[in-house]
Structure 1
Amino acid sequence: MLDSKKAVLVCVTGQHDCDRLIHAGKCIAQQRNVQLQVLCVQPTSKGVNGDCDELEYLRQTSKEADAEMTVYFNDEAAYTAAAFARHVGAVHIVTGMAEEPVNGFIDVLHSLLPEIPISMVAKDKKVYNICPENMGCMPRLAYSF
């Protein structure tokens, strides 16, 4: 039985290839026996019409992974994600890898939630981790998804 008060939180953008993040999050959630939550924080400038096809694809991918997908429109993505992580009882966070130019999302998220491990999934599906000091984990873990 899943622990419904805890979750793995997957943070996606409006990009189609964020499906790899959902698949990685599902693997981690199954390993930890917790629910899976997917969050997309879109900039307010995109409005409700931005990335509709991609968001619908990610919503469907989330549904197939037995996850609920939530979309917020806010210009402070890391702060919104941190608040949502606390709300859903996140025990692990999954994001994509920071690309140039780096927007600081992962750094800010980690500074706000230093006790929660963060897994960053590269486009080649390699998973890199930021772990709390009290947790011993490898810099990179390979998940099959």
Structure 2
Amino acid sequence: MSKPFNISTDFDNYNKYISATIVCVTDQINCERIIKRGREIADKTKTNLYVINVDNGSKRDIAAIEHLFHVSKEYNAVMNIFYNNQVLDTLVNCVHEYHAVNIVSGMPQTVNSILNKLWVMMPQIDYYMIGLEGDVTVISSKKAAINQ
């Protein structure tokens, strides 16, 4: 009888903390700034860092996704790509599954954005929006974790 084996990754012992910071990225190279700021926020709030990308079936920049995967690894984050047309539902599930207390993203582009809907659905989460120059805007139900 053969012995079962485990596939080891760098992230086997990743769940250092109970709570998490989720970084939401698209397939754009400039999302690198969001991951970097996410690492700062995760460190200051003592949370695990997850980078989430939801592929809803539209045309994608594969090179950008690969770049963000490498940046995530460099900043000690676990990057997950979810294939689902229900982007909002996927994000809500990730918040629950990872016990997220922070969400880091770019700036919402419209008032009907998924981020705006998420704020309404989950006001207990601290939201950090990262501008193109790296500036941070915080929407929080409690005191912000980082200095701006």
TM-score (norm: length of structure 1):
0.84
CA distance in 2 between counterparts of 1:26 and 1:136 reads 18
Unaligned runs of 5+ in 1: none
Q: Corresponding residue for 1:66? A: 76
CA distance in 2 between counterparts of 1:25 and 1:15 reads 16
Cα offset, 1:102, TM superposition: 5.0
Give the one of 112, 123, 130 matched to 2:121. Answer: 112
Task: Check if 1:6 corresponds to 2:19.
Answer: yes
Cα pair 1:9 1:38 within 8 Å, conserved: yes
Bigger fraction of residues in strand: 1
Give the one of 97, 101, 112 matched to 1:91. Answer: 101
CA distance in 2 between counterparts of 1:110 and 1:3 reads 27
Cα offset, 1:123, TM superposition: 0.4
Higher Cα radius of gyration:
2
Moved beyond 4 Å, runs of 4+ = none
Q: Corresponding residue for 2:12? A: none
Give the letter aligned to residue 16 of structure 1: I
Corresponding residue pairs, total: 134
Unaligned runs of 5+ in 2: 1-14
Cα offset, 1:44, TM superposition: 1.8
Cα offset, 1:115, TM superposition: 0.3
Give percent identity, aligned residues only: 31
Cα offset, 1:6, TM superposition: 1.1
TM-score (norm: length of structure 2):
0.82
Bigger fraction of residues in helix: 1
